[in-house]
A and B are shown apart, each in its own frame.
Chain A
């Protein structure tokens, strides 16, 4: 199994598309940071308009924490989008290049093979989210400095630097859980579909539907706690004054169950399916 993991990891980094994806993510990061900086002052002006008659403002709110927060708002669509292509490609390229048949000429167990792809896919997803978190903090603090974070949740909430930093870290951790789920689903779809473009289309459809359904109020707390699209914004809970840790843990646990279920389904299907 360890050898399989090493081989899959090696193959992932031999693909040119992995580097294109990393470049695309960095470009998205830079663009969001740039637009956040340009629009940030306007948004802060709007948010504080009602206070301007009564207060003077001392200090800078358009800082690295706010820019990272803006980045987080857009990351959880763009990152899964790119990861879907890379992670599903771990399997679809094997079908396309017919290398999968070569692999099984060796004494390799089917479930071990597909499981190693899932593990590498999850590892790659976590690596990307971690890299994004580190680069976001690094560039945001370097370019825009530190300071209080202002967010709009049932009113204006201000968090001091230290609190803001740990909340943003928490948001990245929760976001990683959501991204892993989409990566796993895309690989499971690849097991079914085998073909790259169709897998991407189906995975994107899944991602878009989840984002649309996230906004729908189902009028049921149970649905809100268990239906996966409603778990998409778990990262936002870190910006509530008293962070609801039990709710976050429950949401991430449900997402983990969904991910394991999708993975189990993929392994089962791959085990039963013809290779050719």
Chain B
């Protein structure tokens, strides 16, 4: 009798785990939605917000096809971020990975599920990525990705509505080295604050991408 009672108590205590989803299973709905996007084309406006750089808003055209790198073209000069253009985050999931559940966090009044993706092989270009996503709309709202070569960058995404598969605004924040001063290419040198430039070794930069989708296949 005692054994039966002990078994029942043990079963009762384990119940939450028996039926619980693993972190990977929790992430499954998001992955299904992201991987469902097979191609898109869009016009993108780029706004650069980097200290010591003044650049007018630029326009470019982007073309994405699943399994390939994003193609970006522009008729005039544009600075395109090396990171943050992978809107379907396919790069994070192309090699074997582990998912660590970080619980929930409320951002702007919306409860978001937080998970960390850790690659299991050296082939991946990142070392850890933390995603903040809305389980209801299955949209990634924020991401912090630490790369092996290009430092850490943050991505914030805004969507037109809960059903939108892709964001209309992406803000990529990153750290960058200070710009070196090419003395042979000086303009009016009296106005350059060299001391200030020398002091600021690592600078934070931001680039805002505004997408206007022309076609999305999913």
Mutual binders A and B: yes
A interface vs B, CB < 8 Å?
Answer: 39, 43, 46-47, 49-51, 53-61, 147-148, 150-161, 163, 215, 217, 233, 236-237, 239-241
B150 proximal to A (CB < 8 A): yes
Query: Hey, which chain B residues are within 8 Å of A239, CB to CB?
Result: 187-188
B-side interface residues, number (CB < 8 Å): 43
Query: Hey, which chain A residues are within 8 Å of B81, CB to CB?
Result: 54-56
Q: Per-residue CB proximity of B145-182 to A under 8 Å, as 1/0? A: 00001110000000000000000000000101111111
Check B176 against A50 for contact (C-beta < 8 Å).
yes
Q: List 19 A-B contacts (CB under 8 A).
A: A47-B179, A49-B180, A50-B180, A51-B53, A54-B150, A55-B82, A56-B72, A56-B80, A57-B78, A58-B74, A58-B78, A58-B80, A152-B182, A153-B187, A159-B56, A163-B56, A215-B189, A236-B188, A237-B188
Dominant secondary structure at the A interface: mixed
Which residue, of A47, A58, A239, has the highest number of chain B Cβ atoms within 10 A? Answer: A58
Q: Which residue of A lies closest to B149 (CB)?
A: A53
Query: Hey, which chain B residues are within 8 Å of A161, CB to CB?
Result: 76
Q: Which residue of B lies closest to A151 (CB)?
A: B187
B interface vs A, CB < 8 Å?
Answer: 50-56, 60, 72-83, 149-151, 174, 176-182, 184-193, 197, 205
Which listed residue (B56, B151, B181) contacts A158, Cβ 8 A? B56
Check B205 against A54 for contact (C-beta < 8 Å).
yes
Query: Hey, which chain B residues are within 8 Å of A50, CB to CB?
Result: 176-180
Query: Hey, which chain B residues are within 8 Å of A150, CB to CB?
Result: 77
Contact A51 B73, CB 8 Å, known A158-B54, A236-B187: no
Query: Hey, which chain A residues are within 8 Å of B55, CB to CB?
Result: 156-158
Query: Hey, which chain A residues are within 8 Å of B181, CB to CB?
Result: 152
Check B186 against A152 for contact (C-beta < 8 Å).
yes
Check B72 against A58 for contact (C-beta < 8 Å).
yes
Check B188 against A54 for contact (C-beta < 8 Å).
no
Check A158 against B77 for contact (C-beta < 8 Å).
yes
Check A241 against B54 for contact (C-beta < 8 Å).
yes
Query: Hey, which chain A residues are within 8 Å of B190, CB to CB?
Result: 217
Check B73 against A58 for contact (C-beta < 8 Å).
yes
Once the chains are docked, how many angstroms separate the CA of A157 from the CA of B186? 12
Check A59 against B193 for contact (C-beta < 8 Å).
no
Which listed residue (B72, B151, B185, B197) contacts A46, Cβ 8 A? B185
Which residue, of A46, A150, A239, has the highest number of chain B Cβ atoms within 10 A? Answer: A46
Contact A53 B150, CB 8 Å, known A46-B180, A58-B72, A239-B188: yes
Once the chains are docked, how many angstroms separate the CA of A30 from the CA of B81? 37
Contact A59 B74, CB 8 Å, known A47-B179, A54-B82: yes
The smallest C-beta distance from A171 to any residue of chain B, in angstroms, reads 11
Query: Hey, which chain A residues are within 8 Å of B180, CB to CB?
Result: 46-47, 49-50
Check A157 against B188 for contact (C-beta < 8 Å).
no
Check B178 against A59 for contact (C-beta < 8 Å).
no
Once the chains are docked, how many angstroms separate the CA of A140 from the CA of B83? 35
